[in-house]
Amino acid sequence: MNTSVEDKSVNQSNGLSEQSCEACKVGAPKVTDEELGGLLKKIPDWNIETRDNIMQLEKCFSFKKYTDSVAFTNRVAEAAEAQGHHPAVLLEWGKVTVTWWSHKIKALHKNDFIMAAKTDQLYQA
């Protein structure tokens, strides 16, 4: 896994990975434009993708072995189950693409940033 010491310190100090997701219901507050910039700084290398007019967080993680990709996917699945917030995951040889957004509000919620930070932490483990 290719992560730098700088990447690890950013994620360890950002506080997001230590937070827990809250239940996201229809009508829950979406991340505002003001919040978006600050939250993105806490999860470097995550990109905003817009699909069907829905903003989503997305990042590709690289692996040298397919079995490592599968193991990472399983760790993300376990974290998602524990938090009750689930991503789209694309598993391919050499990489896993993880995409977070909140289905119920069709937008980004703070939960997505929490889970992105947790995903980074799982990759570094």
pLDDT of the residue at 21: 87
pLDDT of the residue at 2: 38
Structure tokens at 95: 């990489």
Domain that includes residue 120, residue range: 5-124
Say which amino acid occupies 45: D
Domain CATH for 65: 3.30.1360.20
CB atoms within 10 A of CB 36: 15
pLDDT of the residue at 56: 98
pLDDT of the residue at 14: 72
pLDDT of the residue at 98: 99
Structure tokens at 123: 């990759």
Structure tokens at 70: 């599968």
Split the chain (125 residues) into runs of 10 and give each run's mean pLDDT. 38 73 87 94 95 97 97 98 97 97 95 97 94
Are 124 and 8 in contact, with CB atoms under 8 Å apart? Answer: yes
The number of domains in the chain is 1
pLDDT of the residue at 4: 36
pLDDT of the residue at 70: 98
CA-to-CA distance for 35 and 117, rounded, in angstroms? 16
pLDDT of the residue at 91: 98
Report helix, strand or coil for 100.
Answer: strand
CA R_g for the chain = 14
